[in-house]
Structure 1
Amino acid sequence: MISVLVIEDVPGLKEFAAGLSGDNEFFIVSCSGLPEALEKARSQRFDVVASGPSGLELAKKMKLEGKKIPLVLFSGESNEILTVEAVSSGMDLILIPHGDLALETENIRNMLRKAAIRKRYCDDMEKKEAKYLSVIESMDDSIYMVDRDCRYLFMNQKHLSRLGRSSGLYKGKTYRDFHSEEETLRFEAQVRQVFSTGARVDEERDAEDGTKFLRSFEPVRNIDDDTIVAVNVISRKVPLSVEFAFPYRKSENLPGKGENSVYMVDRDCRYLSINPRHLERLGITAEETYLGKTYEDLHMRGKTEAFSRIVGRVFETGEVAWDEYQAGNHHFSRRFCPVRDRKSGEVIAVTVVSSNITDLKMTEKSLIEANRKLNLLSSLTRHDIINNLTALRGYVELSMMDDPGQDQLRYLEKMLIIADSITHQISFTSDYQDIGVKSPQWQDVREIIENAAQLIDMQCITLEIGFRDLKVFADPMLEKVFYNLIQNAVAHGGKITKITFSAHRHTEGVTVVCEDDGIGIPDAEKELIFIRGFGKNTGLGLFLIREILSITGMSIKERGTYGKGARFEIMIPNAIYSCE
């Protein structure tokens, strides 16, 4: 049914409205003038307005309020001024009948039908555009569009924030305006390739700060002649050394090839939109079938509870969340992205991108099994070597008891030192072989530091930890990192009285600092101390620390002042820490 607001401000409109009232095709609401029409237009939704000059004023006021209503304008005589004003105001339809309105009834009906159809089409297109933009803006990826000259045509908010730009300030700018010459030449070559071949291009690149990005270039075609008019670019940040947390490592799983389920839910986990791939996974044939349904309606209770918790957390924090789950023999990775109101910034929905990572999990399991077998072999070999070293030491000590000559004694003592060194090195391999054996997990940093400190004789040294509720995604051997830091400070720091741990957030992540008031590290040795074999004893402790941290993308540097104490800084990227 077509809803029509009739403003009876010209002769004949009252009778015309009365004639339409009995028609099942139209729902008629009549009013006598502009004030009443404004009130009704604000409280009800109409497909079209039929009126004289008052309708033009109504349309103007509604347009200022962000609402557009198609107008069928009636005038008893030709009025060029009124016509020009209506056109300039963006009116959808104008009708200037000649003679009695009764004679124009069918013509007017057709006008009303066309106006209503056009409005509904525009409303539908606006909804689809809003839905599309909400998905684009909710993604934790940089999404932007450039023309043949690499001039920006569009940027989502994520890319604007990465460039440090406000909305609209990119217009008229090119890729070169924001990037180095080398990076620009590389980007331009990819865009030219898409324009020349019409095929999508994927690339992985490293930023200057070591961050990895996976970038895809998609052709944008003219719907009339299929010519390429632009290139759409999706750039995804890959957490360092945490490929398993990123579902798009394989090109066939990239968005655009239909491999990812994408859907949007509200706070109550009610579906707002679902892409064809996810409809297929759910076994839904018609898009309308999911309308009004919640996640619980289509999934088991246990899965619903986990899903609801993550959605609730995204609504509360406004931050992207990840999780993995298993369905039958398949493994999936999900990314939950907040959808914000473009005016208020409030989270109004959550977009979920779900990717099948079964192949990745199978590869991971096979690698773990291979690693387990290698570790077993290493353990047996190490056990045999240590037994032989024990026997060797016994024979050397027996030889030293037989009153050897001075030269022989010196050689025997050197043999013991070498045997001890080999023993230390073999013991180190026991620690080193455990790195990466188990999957990384979320760990409370304060708790890890406290546990490590309990294993060390702190003597009279005070330990201070200036933070809590900091969790990092790291190898289970993380405790070894803090154990070695504290042990090194106690053993080599001189007369220290205090070891302090602190945490500092910044744009790239968070830095955990371990510092003491001892002698410190000479400038010439700040990098050498992390090299295997450098320093006292085996020279393996700090080397081991760097290796453990690097598994999930963390790094460590020494930035203290020699003579005032050591200062070790552990850099933790955004993707692998959380502060509750």
Structure 2
Amino acid sequence: MYPEPTDIRVLVVDDDQEFQKIISHYLTEEPRYSVESVDSGQQALEMLQKNSYSAIIADYLMPEIDGLDLLRIVRSQGNSIPFIIYTGEGCESVAIDALNAGADFYLVKGEDPAPQFMVLIKNLGEIVARKQADEALKISEAENKKMLSLLKATLEATEDGILVETVEGNIVGYNERFLTIFNLEKKQVEGRSGAEIWALISDQIIPEPKRTIQGSTTGRKNQPVLLSFKDSRVIESHVRPQICEGKIMGRVWSYHDLTDRVHAENALRESEAFNRGLVDNLPDYVIIYDRTGKILYINSSGIISLSTKKGNPIGNQIYQYLLPEHHRIVRENIERRFNKENVPPYEVRLVRNDSTILDVMVKATIIPYQGSDAIMAVLSDITSRKEGEEALERYAQTLQITVNALASANKKLNLLSDVTRHDILNQIHIILNYLDIASSENSSHVPKDIMKKIEDATSIIHRQIQFTRSYQDLGINKPEWQNAQKIIDDLSSQNITIRNDVSGLTIFADPLLPKVFENLLDNSMRHGKTVTEVRVTAELAGDGTMCLLWSDNGVGIPKEDKDKIFAKGYGKNTGFGMFLIREILALTGISIKEIGIQGSGACFEMCIPKGSFILQL
């Protein structure tokens, strides 16, 4: 099932302008269709150069360029636009030629166009939906190829050497930087296993106690390993599992040249008495800063993530690495700590040197540092956890939306089926029975009472069909802001005065909201009996909701019927008017109930929740 298109632009090509009008009439009965017409195949080709269309409908018989020639020209230009051709009766061979030439559908002209165009509209929507889905798939495949190319280019652009191997140890990928670091050629890597590669390069590396070339023997996973080369280079090695749908598919090794940095850190360690070995090896960020927020020390993990081209973060303000909305809470917690208050762990967001956002949990305490009190904070990366929580929430929301949509669709289908199959058939049986009675009368004239009953049943069928048309549109379009005063002002009634005391009220509701007030007016006119006036008012309730009241001066509604009137099929007419009102309002959380007093008139109270209305005084 393809998504139903909402905007279908159709180009009609026919040298008969009257037939153009007929096609446009039938198509534009559905709002999603818009039609442009031309008189010849040449004009159609010119329009296709200037405009974009969803489909083409062309007559076969036209001077100069007929419909079949136009189809062949369009297809020869590589245009796969849905193309429908129509022919006269007895032209089945033309239809076959059209389909062979790439037409998506054909239509044979007949004496009764209505059924044919119903078939045309149904097939046209499906053809356009399928074509749009195919185009979207092509775009998606092209994007995937583009992303793959971008990934390969990124792999080659990185300064790190990259090696990818399967869980069995077979090499499946590498970049040029990897070959450069280890002085290898492609032919030495192609078709080799990881173990064979390490055997080739082991003589370049200075062995270290309790460490293999590929990683650490300490048992800690994903810890970086420094490889010291005989030419004095220092390479940092990382390994990460490749995980797809929860399954480890292989490993990715990365090698980063840390020669300059390691030499600098060695010089720094020789000049300092403070042993930072343990802190530097922590995966968390450890930052020491003073009361003003100035960074005095940051461990290796923090330097890697927060250093920029301008240098490492030491000496900078901690606030320049925080999102602006977290400045206040960090500043307040600094003061609380220096005031000896207990500050529980809290979450903030950091901006890394690659502009990515990192969610961290902050745990801190006051320590003496270089002769003064300072704050030592440990920042633990919780980004993956947060992303997982957000993804789970999005999935739950999507699932709920899907469930609600399926429930709504099933409800509508059941109701429409019930109306069309049961209720309308009942009325047809009534008409047929009365026609049978009338035919058995020994008179050339049908009695008026029988004709009146047939007319009433026909009227009911008409209203039931009107209801199904309205109900099938329910919830299809997005809710929108609507001027309640204008909707009520647009109501018309010859015998009832409508007092509109609603001013400045805008309601967020389904586009069928005007149908609510039309049905309320119809209900007052049909069932109020003595109604001469309707008054509409609005008042703000104590809980912040807006109450919209529709009151008439008719006979009112009995207490036992107040809830029943909103049930499907209840009432003396079709029994769908009040039901449709409740369904339309419920789409945006608006409730309705009848609170009038029998004998004093009906009063319908519509409660609009906060956030779904705007009142301008």
* TM-score past 0.5 threshold: no
What's the TM-score once normalised by structure 2's chain length?
Answer: 0.33
Q: Please say which structure displays the higher CA radius of gyration.
A: 2
Could you state the TM-score of these two structures normalised by the residue count of structure 1? 0.35
